[in-house]
Structure 1
Amino acid sequence: MTDTTTLTAERADLLETLAVHRSFLRHTVQGLTDEQARQRTTASELTLGGLIKHVAGTEEAWAHFVVGGPQAMAGPDDAAQAEAWGEGFRMGPDETLAGVLARYEEVARRTDELVRTLPDLDAAHPLPAAPWFEPGAVRSARRVFLHIVAETAQHAGHADILRESLDGQKTMG
């Protein structure tokens, strides 16, 4: 698809909605140090840097699913994947907020390109076997992109609570 190609209204809406919720999430970490991004501010284990890292990893995994199907996602029985999933919620001591944000930007760029260029949003794959998926369920690319929107929006809300607990800053209001 070239720059002169016109997006369908549906694809433009998906891109705009993704951009809005990503912006809300990124706003929650403006002006923070790496230490603040790692800090737990509620009873939850969640941290601001960890949430952004998680959202990036989840978005990337679902984008791989859209292109490669269930074999592109590791199963829940993969011990290394289970450990990596837990680490995906934590910003490690060797990671920086700037690095986590840069990775998120790169993942978002690739996802946006996929939204723009995927030949068919109705293209679907069976979900990998996992206890949280109904056996035999399939997901279209459209539904995956909507899931990424929901995931981003949900975690932007979590991040807003964490940031307000840290220093009183709110995304809105």
Structure 2
Amino acid sequence: MPGTDDPEVRDLLAALERHRGFLTFTTLRLTDDEARLTPTASELHIGGLVKHVTATERGWVAFMTGSDMGAAAGDWWAGHHMGAEETLEGLLDDYARCAEETEAAVIALDSLDSATPLPEAPWFEPGTTWTARRVLLHILAETAQHSGHADIIRETIDGQKTMG
């Protein structure tokens, strides 16, 4: 990746870029209506997954850089669903901007060892801190997991597969 000589940073950003590519591949040639389809037992749909992954990534990058994570919190339904006024193209453009913002933030870090205390929440052990490295691994895992969800949904819609 340009801008950094740290091989670990380059590797993490490259892995994240690869999994973002898997997620965005599931959107190829979908209409907005198709991006809202929920053809599986899940309430998830492809447009909503793109929207959710974007907000989640932004929230964790804000946490990692010492900004307010609050922007990622909110209404679960709205955060996981493509609104009637939203377009898949708009969501993908926002996701691309998010990727650029993340890369710039990671490259600007002094160290992947920088640690920040996690916010108080029932799902976090009190007093736990995460390093920037752990945050990036979490974003990568979240992206990969939801890419798989999107792939199953897309295959159910029209048979397209990301791999295979």
TM-score, normalised by the number of residues in structure 1: 0.89
For residue 14 of structure 2, the aligned residue among 16, 29, 32 is: 16
For residue 144 of structure 2, the aligned residue among 147, 153, 159 is: 153
Q: Tell me if the contact between 1:125 and 1:139 (Cα under 8 Å) persists in the aligned partners.
A: yes
Q: Where does residue 108 of structure 1 map in the other structure?
A: 99
Q: Tell me if the contact between 2:55 and 2:72 (Cα under 8 Å) persists in the aligned partners.
A: no
Deviation of 1:7 (Å): 2.0
Gaps of 5+ in 2: none
CA distance in 2, matches of 1:4, 1:48: 30
Greater than 6 Å deviation, 4+ residue runs: none
1:136 partner letter: G
2:157 partner letter: L
CA distance in 2, matches of 1:43, 1:6: 43
Deviation of 1:36 (Å): 0.3
Deviation of 1:120 (Å): 1.4
Q: Where does residue 129 of structure 1 map in the other structure?
A: 120
CA distance in 2, matches of 1:158, 1:4: 31
Alignment of 1:46-125 (within 5 A): 46-68=44-66, 72-74=68-70, 83-125=74-116
Q: Tell me if the contact between 1:7 and 1:116 (Cα under 8 Å) persists in the aligned partners.
A: no
Alignment of 1:139-150 (within 5 A): 139-150=130-141
What RMSD over aligned residues (CA atoms) do the two structures have, in Å? 1.8
CA distance in 2, matches of 1:170, 1:162: 10
Identity percentage over the alignment? 54
Gaps of 5+ in 1: 75-79
CA distance in 1, matches of 2:144, 2:21: 10
TM-score, normalised by the number of residues in structure 2: 0.94
CA distance in 2, matches of 1:14, 1:82: 25
The 3-state SS of whatever aligns with 1:30 is coil
